[in-house]
Chains A and B, each alone.
Chain A
Amino acid sequence: MTDVLRIALPFTLWIIGFCALYALQGLVCSHHWPAGLDGRTALVAAAALFVLGQGVVLAAVLSRPAATRFAQRVATILAVAALAAAVWTSLPVLALTVCG
């Protein structure tokens, strides 16, 4: 199962990170968000953490080879793609109004 989990991991983390970012944006725009805390800063920090996490996954996939060459290759493709997906889907936090 280890190879199956290795293949599943990069994009599973992507969907968790992506949903967390969206949830944070919802929280930032709600009445629960503390008045003194800057929402964009929080979102940019979360996005940076998201991208960093995917980078760590890629590094882990590369540094600990899978049991088979096939699983290693597929996991590497997916880890690179998930990192790119994290960067692409995080970009809006730098450009758009947070709650408008």
Chain B
Amino acid sequence: MTQRTALRLHKALARIWAPEPGWRGWLTTNNNNDIGRLFLAVATGFFVIGGILAMLIRAQLATPGSAFMGPEAYNQVFTMHGTVMMFLFAIPFFEALSMLLLPGMLGTRDLAFPRLGAYGLWVYIFGGSAVIIAMLMGLAPDGGWFMYPPLTSAAFSPGLGADVWLLGITSIEVSAIATAVEVVVTVLRYRAAGMSLSRMPIFAWYILVVSVMILTAFPPMILGSLLLETERALDWPFFQVENGGDPLLWQHLFWLFGHPEVYIIFLPAAGMIATILPVMSRTTLLGYGWVVAAAVSLAVLSFGLWVHHMFTTGIPHLGLAFFSAASTLVAVPTSVMIFSWIGTLWKGRVRMELPMLWLLGFFATFVIGGLTGVMLAVVPFNWQVHDTHFVVAHLHYVLIGGYVFPMIAAVTYFQPLLTGRFRYFRLGEVAFWLVVPAFHVTFLAVHVAGLLGQRRRTWTYDEGQGWEILNLVASIASFVMAIGFALVILDILINTFAGLRGQRNPWGAPTLEWAAPTPSPTYGFGSIPIVRGRYPMALDPDLPQRIAKGEGYLADTARNRRETLIVDTMTGEPAEVAVLPGNSRLPFLLAVVTSTSFLAPLVGAYWLSALALSGVVIIALIWVWQLVPATTEGPVDAGRGALLPVASETANPPGWWGSLFLLLADGVHFGSLVFGYAFLWTVAPNWPPSSYLRSEVWPVMLALGGAVALIAGPRLLARAIGRPALPGLLVATCGALALAAAAASVMLARPAPEGHAYDATLWLLAGHTAFHAALVLIMLGYLSLRRIAGHALRVGEARIVSLWADFAAATGLVALGAAWLPGAFA
């Protein structure tokens, strides 16, 4: 192909992938470049807000007996600082970078579910804005970022603050789960031809691991928020000791999320380090396989540490020892990574560019934070410094050193790719030399203040305790650090708009994202690349030109739609053609109604919440209806002589993969609910309740029969392609109704969930069952409507419904069994 052909291809693809013109384009775009940039800008805005709150804290603590803030304001400020930094900045920021960079790294044109990405963005913006607006109105939560009851119960935290946190943050977690599903499916299936598992860029491994962690760590937190909000709004006593609840249940659910959260934040940064460090060292990553193994093991180990945040709650010594042992284990995979990076530096020739400076800042800081983490894993030391400023200093060493510094390195490293401009103004170096030394002065002083006994979360302190100089030094240095961070942002902005127009791949990086033009166009690649190694740009320097000329897959634009390649998960062989959706208002509208359903209860508008929820259902149905064409088209030409099926016509379409991983999160949510029930049953002080639920035979028969029909119905549907679908639809519908009726029998038998935590939990178990039966009914209704409209039923659609029906049946049986068994044996 000639240069002219490449230009024609570029113009055709740019037209197909273009967002709508004008401001409406921002509301309807779902391209990863646009969504990623918006995500990045909003997350940076929240970082600035969180930073200002940090400065308020340090201003207050600079001197003893300060009158700068009263305790009410201080409580809101430190709660919001933690909340903003953890939920509104850290996670969205790496999600933004992943959205922007991952398709390029993997050699695909976009993420697997572009509309889901746009939906996640808007839910995040609405939820985050609600929390910030509440703060500006003086309605911010003030119970600390981990919101322990009974402090945050309605009795001790009246008003809206805690509700803002519980509802606002939960909606943001929905956004994180949406993005995680999208990322997992993208990494597993949407890659360049020939990109096997062993050829995946190291960041893809990290972000795959992190996304699975989000899917498994966030559900316990969502459940905890649901329980606490239900307790506050409806007086269901999950955490009230006098009524069979236990506040420790909250701590378990929170830290089941909260500890993995630390690694959810660290691992993407580690992925960036493992990507950037070899390039800055002009070599390749040492021990790729070991680093993958370390990332996987660290991710899972992080789920076995949650109780180390609860060492002072009176748990038996054996329990403490389990978690102390697991906590010390974490040092092993972390060290494997650190030594891999040191070895990479050792075998290469380091160039001291700005990203490398930040990586060195990371090493100096994170290793100290890791070592104080090992100190905290030792139970007697933990008891000594629990809830002191030592813990504050430790977590800032880990989170700023282990996350913020590598992320600044990542932004400066990828700036040429994202903006098309190379750094010219050298403000960044000045910022680095302000931030890193000032950080260490600040938090070394805070460490010492903690060791001397200064408690965290106290709005002031008295003179004469030896903390005055330490706090003053920490506060002055923290302001220097804040000035440094402001310069970081200024440096990036200036170089984005006034930097040098650079050539492609200025760092000489070997990974695929640098094969795209800079700045990356909306369609990413002119054709889907073919890779033959882990470092495609090093193996084949002419690759960018050949991709642009259309020598890869899917270079033909005749079908006039957004297409990308789906590959075999293990080998990377081309398998299917994915047709991606175009611009749409639906993600924005769905986010509006979703956020309304979450936030309306804040002002007591439960009717509006219910109305918005029905809006969610309607828009979701329209969304799916639009995605699947009425007719099938058979295999299509994917280029290079390959005839591949369209993904939506296969047995396991992208929606099936997305459902699979969404159900993983749903399953963990359900598991957390069962854990909560078992926890209360085992250790809550006021158990057993005055009586257990005793079921009659008919609800049990309904549940068993319903489950069998739910499992069988969709399978009948899948086998009925080209034949009448009515039997399968009827069987599945009867199954869902029977299961829902069995669940309703539990609620009818125990009509007062506010009386005891046992009854409240039964209602939740039954509610979970009824909710999933209703979901299946909605899906069956959708399939019926498609049949009535004359659309071809696809095996993939039936298999998606089958997944959800199996889940509803299995969890329904477990939930109802758990509700009925204690009564049967009592």
Check: B319 CB closer than 8 A to any chain A CB: yes
When each residue 11-49 of chain A gets 1 if its CB lies under 8 Å from chain B and 0 otherwise, what string results?
A: 110110011011101110110100000000001000000
Q: Which residues of A contact B316 (CB under 8 A)?
A: 25, 29, 97-100
Separation in Å of the A84 CB from the closest CB of chain B?
Answer: 9
Q: How far is the CA of A77 from the CA of B323 in the complex (A)?
A: 23
Check: B197 CB closer than 8 A to any chain A CB: yes
- Looking across the interface, which residue of chain A has its beta carbon closest to that of B200? A70
Given A12-B300, A70-B197, CB of A77 within 8 Å of CB of B290: yes
List residues of chain B with CB under 8 Å of any chain A CB.
Answer: 188, 196-198, 289-290, 292-293, 296-297, 299-301, 303-304, 307, 316-319, 321-323, 325-326, 329, 332-333, 569-571, 678-679, 681-683
Q: Which residues of A contact B292 (CB under 8 A)?
A: 7, 74
Q: Which residues of B contact A21 (CB under 8 A)?
A: 322
Q: Which residues of A contact B332 (CB under 8 A)?
A: 81
- Counted as pairs of residues, one from A and one from B, with CB atoms less than 8 Å apart, the total is 111
User: A97 near B317 (CB under 8 angstroms)?
Assistant: yes
Separation in Å of the A72 CB from the closest CB of chain B?
Answer: 10
Q: Which residues of A contact B679 (CB under 8 A)?
A: 26
Q: Which residues of B contact A15 (CB under 8 A)?
A: 300, 303-304
Q: Which residues of B contact A96 (CB under 8 A)?
A: 317-318, 321
Q: Which residues of B contact A30 (CB under 8 A)?
A: 682-683
Our pick among B196, B318, B329, B678 for the contact of A98 (Cβ within 8 Å) is: B318
User: B197 near A91 (CB under 8 angstroms)?
Assistant: no
User: B678 near A23 (CB under 8 angstroms)?
Assistant: yes
- Looking across the interface, which residue of chain B has its beta carbon closest to that of A39? B318
Q: Which residues of B contact A4 (CB under 8 A)?
A: 188, 197, 569-570
User: A7 near B322 (CB under 8 angstroms)?
Assistant: no
User: A77 near B289 (CB under 8 angstroms)?
Assistant: yes
- Looking across the interface, which residue of chain A has its beta carbon closest to that of B199? A70
Q: Which residues of B contact A11 (CB under 8 A)?
A: 296-297, 299-301
Q: Which residues of B contact A78 (CB under 8 A)?
A: 293, 296-297
User: A7 near B196 (CB under 8 angstroms)?
Assistant: no
When A and B form their complex, which 7 residue pairs have the shortest distance between CB atoms, in order from nearest? A70-B198, A92-B321, A11-B300, A77-B293, A30-B682, A96-B318, A89-B325
Q: How far is the CA of A71 from the CA of B316 in the complex (A)?
A: 40
- Looking across the interface, which residue of chain A has its beta carbon closest to that of B687? A31
Q: Which residues of A contact B681 (CB under 8 A)?
A: 32
User: A81 near B570 (CB under 8 angstroms)?
Assistant: no
- Looking across the interface, which residue of chain A has its beta carbon closest to that of B324? A92
Check: A63 CB closer than 8 A to any chain B CB: no
When each residue 67-89 of chain A gets 1 if its CB lies under 8 Å from chain B and 0 otherwise, what string results?
A: 11111011001100110010011
Q: How far is the CA of A19 from the CA of B296 in the complex (A)?
A: 18
User: B318 near A93 (CB under 8 angstroms)?
Assistant: yes
Given A11-B296, A11-B297, CB of A97 within 8 Å of CB of B318: yes
Separation in Å of the B212 CB from the closest CB of chain A?
Answer: 8
Among A14, A43, A100, the one with the most B-chain Cβ atoms within 10 Å of its Cβ is A14
Q: Which residues of B contact A3 (CB under 8 A)?
A: 197, 569-570
Q: How far is the CA of A85 from the CA of B328 in the complex (A)?
A: 10
Q: Which residues of B contact A85 (CB under 8 A)?
A: 297, 301, 326, 329
Q: Which residues of B contact A71 (CB under 8 A)?
A: 197-198, 570
User: B318 near A99 (CB under 8 angstroms)?
Assistant: yes
Separation in Å of the B211 CB from the closest CB of chain A?
Answer: 13
User: A89 near B322 (CB under 8 angstroms)?
Assistant: yes
User: B304 near A89 (CB under 8 angstroms)?
Assistant: yes
Q: Which residues of B contact A19 (CB under 8 A)?
A: 304
- Looking across the interface, which residue of chain B has its beta carbon closest to that of A68? B198
Check: A8 CB closer than 8 A to any chain B CB: yes
- Looking across the interface, which residue of chain B has its beta carbon closest to that of A26? B682
- Looking across the interface, which residue of chain A has its beta carbon closest to that of B332? A81
Q: Which residues of B contact A89 (CB under 8 A)?
A: 304, 322, 325-326, 329
User: A26 near B683 (CB under 8 angstroms)?
Assistant: yes
Given A4-B569, A8-B296, CB of A88 within 8 Å of CB of B197: no
- Looking across the interface, which residue of chain B has its beta carbon closest to that of A92? B321
Q: Which residues of A contact B323 (CB under 8 A)?
A: 22
29 intermolecular pairs with C-beta atoms under 8 Å apart: A3-B197, A4-B569, A11-B297, A11-B301, A14-B300, A14-B304, A15-B303, A21-B322, A22-B319, A23-B678, A25-B319, A27-B682, A67-B570, A68-B196, A71-B197, A71-B198, A77-B290, A78-B297, A81-B332, A82-B297, A85-B329, A88-B329, A89-B304, A92-B318, A93-B318, A95-B321, A96-B321, A100-B316, A100-B318
Q: Which residues of A contact B570 (CB under 8 A)?
A: 1-4, 67-68, 71
Separation in Å of the B556 CB from the closest CB of chain A?
Answer: 30
Separation in Å of the B266 CB from the closest CB of chain A?
Answer: 17
Our pick among B322, B333, B569 for the contact of A22 (Cβ within 8 Å) is: B322
- Looking across the interface, which residue of chain B has its beta carbon closest to that of A33? B682
Q: Which residues of B contact A43 (CB under 8 A)?
A: 318
Separation in Å of the A49 CB from the closest CB of chain B?
Answer: 16
User: A1 near B296 (CB under 8 angstroms)?
Assistant: no
Q: How far is the CA of A7 from the CA of B188 in the complex (A)?
A: 14
Q: Which residues of B contact A82 (CB under 8 A)?
A: 297
Q: Which residues of B contact A100 (CB under 8 A)?
A: 316-318
- Looking across the interface, which residue of chain A has its beta carbon closest to that of B321? A92
Q: How far is the CA of A74 from the CA of B299 in the complex (A)?
A: 15
Separation in Å of the B407 CB from the closest CB of chain A?
Answer: 26
Q: Which residues of A contact B569 (CB under 8 A)?
A: 1, 3-4
- Looking across the interface, which residue of chain A has its beta carbon closest to that of B196? A68
Our pick among B196, B289, B319, B571 for the contact of A74 (Cβ within 8 Å) is: B289
Q: Which residues of A contact B289 (CB under 8 A)?
A: 70, 73-74, 77
Separation in Å of the B619 CB from the closest CB of chain A?
Answer: 32
Q: How far is the CA of A12 from the CA of B213 in the complex (A)?
A: 12
User: B325 near A92 (CB under 8 angstroms)?
Assistant: yes
Extra inter-chain contacts (9) besides given A25-B319, A69-B198, A100-B317, CB under 8 Å: A1-B570, A4-B197, A4-B570, A18-B304, A26-B319, A67-B570, A74-B289, A89-B304, A100-B316
User: B318 near A32 (CB under 8 angstroms)?
Assistant: no
